């Protein structure tokens, strides 16, 4: 196995050179001879300046937007990048976004769907989305109050249109695991476990004959070599299918949009018919209608049903623990000697049989029967049901005064997950073998075979969410040059989860005042008054103002007629967001007093104090009614420009100070204060960095190009931390927020490091437990002669400060090729778990082949083996297990063919295209073997599909 590399930035220059090869998109002024294409032209970039942007509560032209926002419209790319997963479409495509929902490294952003905060983008397919906007700075998120602390992702779904339209998208394909776990076979495991036993001074567990029998494969049922990841139990690939259809149109004053989707995603587990995989059905209906001349309304309803049928046991997960030599989970009936042992005929007659096999077992592991659970244990079905309803009413109040309007929005969401299962009792047999390889005895070490006649129902997730907001808006032109737009918003949102006594509630008032002068100077004042039920009465409200400014320099006379600079806007903003999102719990401001339990008693009275007794009253937490909200102070400075009608450039520098973080601080109180310590606003972090994006569009005859590039750099720093360390180098303050702390490794102890009695040579610091040659040696940072937790230092960081992405679209005639590239540089990962650090008798993976032995002392990349739990080598965090997480990935590729126009017209269609696509296709990284291996319920996959899109 490749040794875990230390932190490096070797991919940086390669990524920069690839990502910043500025791109080209199609200048398409003569597409009348083709089908209904979405190939971009230079007019698309020019129109982007005046393009309407959905900011959630407001819609504004891009030129008027002051805050830092980024927007995509799926109709611009979905035909040539037919991903149906919203998270896939977001990742790598939007400036300032890390992954699919992390804006500028602050954490998971608030998701807003059609004005409703707190909904999930995982319930949507890309076909039903009209626009996605991310709101990044405080000025842009201010109207969302406390919920907007980490930024906001605003999703607007499609609405009906006057023109009737029918679209269908169908894709089907296969997925392959990127990498499967590679554990050692029985013989190799037994041999190495013997080595581990000898290293510990114990006798070997397995004889040479046993090892030879397992290695020979002569009788794999008596001498098993079990691998749940083999083709006996897993398929090489699995299929998936996506079908989406939508309809839109109008009837008189009513417009409608209907979206219907179906997904079937199979599993690679291939033992019984119980494993059906996941099936999902979703339907959306959006209706807009006019009540009268001054009232419009809309009614949206969404339903999602997802079903996952499976066996009681997932072999992919169980395969991490089931040792290859443990026992054979299946016994061939043909090996049972009923001729010489006729009593076994009765056992066979009564037993359940599975394709000529009996369920095998071992009395010492009677409850460790994963394959038996799959074959005979029963089945389970997980069913998720989600429904969402929302109603909006728009009031045109111009009769009261020109420019006045109002809107109300009411929503209700219902989420329910429940599990049904049938659990069977079943027999499992431990065999007795003779020298001829025949089974001469069968002992049932479990239960009798009894089918479960009761369907068990367990509903452990039941959530109701409801919300309301009302808005009054006033727009007014003051003369020819001045325009003002004001909005007042009141919002309330509540989520109730079953078995949780306290609902999650958010409410606030929002105020927005926007001023524009001559289409070139814009001022925004956005603010919210936030309320929190997590804080004490009298301290629950907070006013959070923000201020933004934008200047469109290209509207100045000196630049207005420029031949090369078509558009240039500078913008800046600052402001504060107060939030209780990071306060983990309710009533943290209150004191806790308690009696009983382990608090003890005290005695008083006569008879040596034994006459009477009473309980102690103790305090578990002090009171702090001044506990307040956490604070995000935000600064943003940026620009956007259009050059020569072909190059769009956008950049921002930003800083977010997250202060007053709520913790149970210890350093501000004397040590004896103990349980009297209250929660307080203490810790502080800083996030700063920049983002840059560019698009270059052009066409050369029939050849067009559309290539975009984005880079995001984030530096995080702990500014204030509640900590006390004896040595300053251990302080978290001044380190990255996601810093990894651990010991510094110095290779392995050698035989020369020990005296003849096994003790360490003089001057070598002691470490964890009894040491031997081949154990990991750590650096004694403080030179006190002992390696312990005081020697932990910053050894890396979890997050990658540099994120790159590039999307490329090339078209020639009816063919279009799309590719999406992403890269991360500067982050680290830690190899953990029993696959990388097997303790005791846990099964061995391929990593142990590089173990230390006296013969491999100079080349070993893994410590010596031990059959006992080993804290020194496997139980402490150190840079030995650290690896460089930098990577360059080819995320998606799609080749699309547009059918000729005359063919499409003969079929009575507007557009018809077919495509072939692939996702998660390739990666270049030093530690690809670690990054591509997922040791959980399911592996990572590479996807290949064929599909078609039709528009009527």
Query: SS3 of 737, please?
Result: coil
Burial of residue 700 (CB within 10 Å: 0-12, 13-18, 19+) is exposed
Q: How confident is the model at residue 557 (pLDDT cuts 50, 70, 90)?
A: confident
Please, which residues have CB within 8 angstroms of residue 620's CB and are 6 or more apart in sequence? Answer: 592, 593, 594, 675
- pLDDT tens-place string over residues 107-117: 999 999 998 89
Instruction: Output the 3-class SS for 420-448.
Output: EEEECECCCEEEEECCCCCEEEEEECCCC
Beta carbons of 509 and 529 less than 8 angstroms apart:
yes
**Taking 70 as the threshold, does the pLDDT of residue 609 lie above it?**
no
- Euclidean distance between CA atoms 267 and 276, whole angstroms: 7
Residue 178 structure tokens: 């990127």
- The gap from C-alpha 420 to its chain's centroid, in whole angstroms, comes to 27
The confidence score (pLDDT) of residue 613 equals 61
Residue 902 structure tokens: 């005359």
- Euclidean distance between CA atoms 144 and 57, whole angstroms: 9
Strand pairing partners for 710?
693, 805
Lowest mean pLDDT among 13-17, 42-46, 478-482, 943-947: 13-17
Query: SS3 of 26, please?
Result: coil
Residue 372: name the closest of 437, 318, 309, 431 by CA.
Answer: 318
Beta carbons of 753 and 773 less than 8 angstroms apart:
yes
Please, which residues have CB within 8 angstroms of residue 771's CB and are 6 or more apart in sequence? Answer: 749, 754, 760, 872
The confidence score (pLDDT) of residue 43 equals 66
Higher per-residue confidence, 280 vs 605 = 280
The confidence score (pLDDT) of residue 454 equals 80
Residue 621: name the closest of 592, 597, 589, 595 by CA.
Answer: 592
DSSP code for 62: G
Residue 244: name the closest of 281, 197, 288 by CA.
Answer: 281
Longest CA pairwise span in the chain (Å): 109
The confidence score (pLDDT) of residue 13 equals 34
How many residues would you count in the chain? Answer: 952
**Taking 60 as the threshold, does the pLDDT of residue 394 lie above it?**
yes
**Taking 90 as the threshold, does the pLDDT of residue 22 lie above it?**
no
Q: How large is the average pLDDT for residues 246-270?
A: 95
- pLDDT tens-place string over residues 398-430: 999 999 999 999 999 999 998 999 999 999 999
- pLDDT tens-place string over residues 291-322: 999 999 999 999 999 999 999 999 999 999 99
**Taking 50 as the threshold, does the pLDDT of residue 25 lie above it?**
no
Task: Give the dihedral sign, CA 753/757/759/761.
Answer: negative
Distances (CA, A) of 316 to 624, 700, 935: 49, 51, 8
- pLDDT tens-place string over residues 565-600: 999 999 999 999 999 999 999 999 999 887 765 555
Q: How large is the average pLDDT for residues 912-941?
A: 94
Q: How confident is the model at residue 33 (pLDDT cuts 50, 70, 90)?
A: very low
- Euclidean distance between CA atoms 658 and 717, whole angstroms: 10
Phi-psi region of 724 (alpha: psi -120 to 50; beta: other; left: phi over 0): beta
Query: SS3 of 715, please?
Result: strand
**Taking 60 as the threshold, does the pLDDT of residue 14 lie above it?**
no
The DSSP element (H or E) to which 154 belongs, if any, is strand 152-157
**Taking 90 as the threshold, does the pLDDT of residue 826 lie above it?**
yes
**What value does the mean pLDDT of the chain take?**
90
The confidence score (pLDDT) of residue 873 equals 96
Distances (CA, A) of 619 to 560, 591, 597, 668, 803: 71, 8, 13, 18, 48
**Taking 60 as the threshold, does the pLDDT of residue 698 lie above it?**
yes
- pLDDT tens-place string over residues 623-663: 999 999 999 999 999 999 999 999 999 999 999 999 999 99
Q: How large is the average pLDDT for residues 492-503?
A: 87
What count of other Cβ atoms lies within 10 Å of the Cβ of residue 432? 12
Please, which residues have CB within 8 angstroms of residue 607's CB and are 6 or more apart in sequence? Answer: none
What count of other Cβ atoms lies within 10 Å of the Cβ of residue 776? 25
- pLDDT tens-place string over residues 341-352: 999 999 999 999
Backbone φ and ψ for 147, nearest 5 degrees, come out as -65, -20
The confidence score (pLDDT) of residue 601 equals 57
The DSSP element (H or E) to which 42 belongs, if any, is helix 42-50
The confidence score (pLDDT) of residue 41 equals 55
- pLDDT tens-place string over residues 150-171: 999 999 999 999 889 999 999 9
Residue 189: name the closest of 221, 227, 219, 218 by CA.
Answer: 227
What count of other Cβ atoms lies within 10 Å of the Cβ of residue 692? 18
- Euclidean distance between CA atoms 92 and 919, whole angstroms: 13
Q: How large is the average pLDDT for residues 372-397?
A: 94
Distances (CA, A) of 791 to 725, 731, 876: 11, 12, 12
Q: Any long-range contacts for 243-247 (C-beta under 8 Å, 24+ apart)? A: 243/168, 243/169, 243/170, 244/84, 244/125, 244/127, 244/128, 244/168, 244/169, 244/170, 245/166, 245/167, 245/168, 245/169, 246/127, 246/128, 246/158, 246/166, 246/167, 247/164, 247/165, 247/166
Q: How confident is the model at residue 848 (pLDDT cuts 50, 70, 90)?
A: very high
Please, which residues have CB within 8 angstroms of residue 595's CB and are 6 or more apart in sequence? Answer: 615, 616, 617, 618
Beta carbons of 195 and 865 less than 8 angstroms apart:
yes
Query: SS3 of 601, please?
Result: strand
Strands 238-251 and 404-423: unpaired
Q: How large is the average pLDDT for residues 682-686?
A: 97
Residue 543: name the closest of 511, 513, 574, 572 by CA.
Answer: 511
**Taking 80 as the threshold, does the pLDDT of residue 30 lie above it?**
no
Beta carbons of 313 and 377 less than 8 angstroms apart:
yes
**Taking 80 as the threshold, does the pLDDT of residue 886 lie above it?**
yes
The confidence score (pLDDT) of residue 854 equals 95
- Euclidean distance between CA atoms 748 and 872, whole angstroms: 11
Per residue in 803-829, is it b (16+ CB within 10 Å) or e — as a string? bbbbbbbbbeeeebebbbbbbbbbbbb
The DSSP element (H or E) to which 619 belongs, if any, is strand 617-621
Residue 140: name the closest of 183, 104, 184, 88 by CA.
Answer: 104
Residues of the chain by 3-state class (helix, strand, coil), percent to 5: 15, 45, 40
């Amino acid at each position: 196995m490749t040794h875990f590399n230390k932190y490096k930035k070797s991919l940086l220059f390669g990524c920069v050179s690839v990502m910043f090869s500025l791109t080209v998109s199609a200048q398409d002024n003569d597409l009348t001879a083709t089908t209904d294409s979405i190939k971009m032209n230079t007019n698309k970039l020019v129109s982007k300046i005046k393009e309407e942007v959905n900011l959630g509560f407001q819609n504004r032209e891009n030129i008027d937007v002051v805050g830092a926002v980024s927007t995509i419209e799926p109709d611009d790319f979905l035909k040539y990048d037919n991903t149906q997963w919203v998270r896939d479409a977001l990742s790598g495509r939007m400036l300032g976004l890390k992954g699919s929902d992390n804006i500028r490294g602050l954490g998971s952003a608030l998701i807003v769907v059609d004005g409703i905060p707190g909904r999930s983008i995982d319930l949507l397919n890309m076909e039903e989305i009209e626009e996605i906007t991310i709101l990044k700075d405080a000025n842009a998120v201010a109207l969302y109050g406390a919920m907007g602390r980490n930024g906001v992702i605003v999703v607007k779904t499609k609405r009906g249109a006057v023109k009737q339209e029918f679209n269908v998208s169908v894709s089907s394909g296969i997925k392959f695991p990127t990498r499967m776990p590679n554990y050692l076979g029985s013989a190799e495991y037994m041999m190495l476990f013997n080595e581990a036993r000898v290293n510990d001074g114990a006798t070997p567990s397995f004889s040479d004959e046993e090892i030879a029998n397992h290695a020979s494969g002569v009788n794999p049922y008596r001498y098993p070599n079990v691998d749940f990841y083999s083709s006996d139990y897993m398929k090489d690939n699995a299929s998936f299918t996506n079908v989406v259809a939508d309809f839109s149109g109008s009837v008189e004053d009513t417009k409608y949009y209907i979206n219907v989707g179906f997904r079937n995603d199979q599993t690679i587990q291939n033992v019984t018919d119980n494993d059906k995989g996941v099936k999902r059905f979703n339907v959306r209906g959006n209706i807009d209608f006019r009540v009268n001349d001054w009232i419009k309304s809309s009614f949206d309803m969404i339903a999602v049903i997802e079903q996952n049928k499976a066996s009681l046991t997932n072999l992919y997960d169980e395969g991490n623990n089931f040792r290859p030599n443990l026992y054979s989970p299946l016994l061939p009936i043909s090996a049972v000697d009923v001729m010489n042992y006729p009593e076994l005929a009765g056992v066979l007659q009564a037993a359940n049989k599975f394709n000529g096999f009996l369920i095998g077992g071992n009395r010492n592991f009677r409850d460790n029967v994963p394959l038996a659970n799959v074959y005979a244990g029963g089945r389970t079905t997980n069913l998720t049901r989600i429904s969402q309803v929302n109603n909006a009413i728009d009031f045109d109040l111009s009769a009261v005064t020109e420019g006045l309007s109002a809107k109300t929005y009411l929503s209700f969401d219902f989420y329910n997950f429940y599990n049904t299962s049938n659990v069977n009792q079943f027999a499992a047999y431990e065999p007795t073998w003779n020298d001829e390889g025949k089974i001469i005895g069968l002992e049932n070490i479990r239960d009798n075979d009894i089918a479960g006649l009761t369907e068990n129902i367990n509903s452990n997730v039941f959530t109701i969410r409801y919300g309301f907001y009302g808005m009054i808006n006033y727009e007014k032109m003051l003369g020819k040059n001045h325009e003002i737009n004001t909005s007042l918003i009141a919002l309330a949102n509540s989520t109730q989860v079953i078995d949780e006594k306290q609902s999650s509630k958010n409410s606030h008032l929002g105020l927005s005042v926007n001023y524009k002068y001559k289409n070139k100077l814009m001022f925004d004042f956005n603010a919210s008054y936030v309320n929190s039920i997590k804080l004490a009465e009298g301290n629950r409200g907070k006013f959070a103002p923000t201020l933004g400014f934008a200047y469109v320099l290209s509207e100045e006379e000196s630049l207005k007629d420029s031949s090369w600079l078509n558009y240039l806007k500078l913008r800046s903003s600052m402001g504060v967001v107060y939030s209780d999102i990071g306060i983990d719990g309710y009533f943290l401001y209150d004191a806790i007093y308690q009696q009983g339990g382990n608090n003890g008693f005290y005695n008083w009275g006569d008879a040596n104090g034994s006459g009477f007794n009473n309980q102690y009253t103790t305090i578990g937490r002090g009171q702090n009614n001044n506990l307040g909200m956490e604070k995000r102070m935000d600064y943003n400075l940026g620009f956007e420009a259009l050059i020569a009608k072909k190059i769009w450039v956008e950049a921002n520098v930003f800083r977010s100070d997250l202060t007053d973080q709520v913790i149970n601080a210890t350093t501000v109180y004397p040590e004896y204060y103990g349980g009297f310590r209250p929660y307080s606003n203490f810790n502080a972090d800083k996030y700063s960095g920049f983002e840059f994006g560019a698009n270059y569009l052009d066409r050369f005859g029939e050849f067009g190009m559309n290539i975009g590039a984005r880079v995001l750099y984030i530096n995080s720093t702990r500014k204030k931390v509640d900590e006390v360390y004896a040595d300053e180098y251990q302080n978290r303050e001044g380190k990255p927020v996601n810093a990894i702390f651990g010991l510094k490794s110095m290779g392995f102890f050698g035989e020369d490091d020990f005296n003849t009695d096994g003790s360490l040579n003089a001057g070598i610091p002691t470490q964890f437990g009894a040491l031997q040659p081949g154990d990991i040696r750590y650096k004694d940072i403080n030179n006190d002669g002992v390696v312990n937790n005081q020697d932990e230092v910053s050894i890396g960081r979890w997050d990658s400060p540099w994120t790159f992405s590039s999307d490329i679209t090339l078209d020639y005639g009816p063919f279009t090729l799309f590719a999406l590239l992403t890269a991360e540089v500067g982050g680290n990962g830690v190899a953990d778990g029993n696959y990388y650090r097997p303790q005791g008798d846990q099964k061995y993976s391929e990593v142990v082949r590089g173990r230390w032995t006296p013969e491999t002392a100079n080349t070993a990349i893994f410590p010596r083996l031990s059959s006992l739990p080993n804290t020194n080598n496997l139980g402490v965090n150190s840079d030995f297990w650290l690896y460089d997480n930098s990577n360059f990935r080819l995320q998606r590729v799609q080749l699309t063919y547009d059918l000729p126009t005359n063919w499409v017209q003969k079929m009575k269609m507007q557009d018809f295209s077919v495509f072939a696509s692939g996702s998660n296709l390739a990666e270049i990284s030093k530690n690809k073997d670690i990054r591509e291996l997922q040791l959980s319920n399911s592996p990572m996959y590479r996807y290949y599909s064929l599909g078609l899109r039709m528009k009527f």
